Amino acid sequence: MKLTCAICLFASTGLVGPAMAADPFYVGSWTLTAAVVAPWADPHRKPDDAERAGLIGKTVVLKAREISGPRPFACAKPRYKMTASDPEMIFQGAFDEMQHADAKADPKALAASLGFTEASIRTLETGCEIDVHFVDDATAKIGLNDYVYTLKKR
């Protein structure tokens, strides 16, 4: 009887079983809530609005060993790597390329126009087609086919 009560005491205080590491902040369900035409998009060519319309409201789930969701977000075997990026390097260096083409294109201002306020932007490289750039722990941005999509964590 004493042993049973001791186990109950340890279980109630969380001292039984191996310690579990918390999942990284990005693991979970994210909803595609909005999309804007990307700053790097050709102003003379309208991006595919049908793709954008079909993605808004969909859910992308980042799991430890899989990304589920609509194409092209789904990935069977992601290889996650969290990095810190300067505004010039987010969206696969698109803002840097814009600045090389036009010195007036300011990567920091372009990033700020999309909600990035920090000098260093957390980027989740997935090892798949898509990199995820975090505005904060509950808001992320993804560049896809001349749109920048906003994801909100649920």
Q: E strand or H helix at 11, and its extent?
A: helix 2-13
pLDDT tens-place string over residues 44-100 = 998 989 999 999 999 999 999 999 999 999 999 999 999 999 999 999 999 999 999
pTM of the model: 0.84
Q: Residue 113 in contact with residue 135, Cβ under 8 Å?
A: no
Q: What are phi and psi of 35, to 5 degrees?
A: -150, 140
What CA–CA distance (Å, rounded) separates 129 from 132?
Answer: 10
| Residue whose C-alpha is closest to residue 61's, from 23, 29, 25, 27 | 29
Going from N- to C-terminal start, the domains of the chain cover 26-153
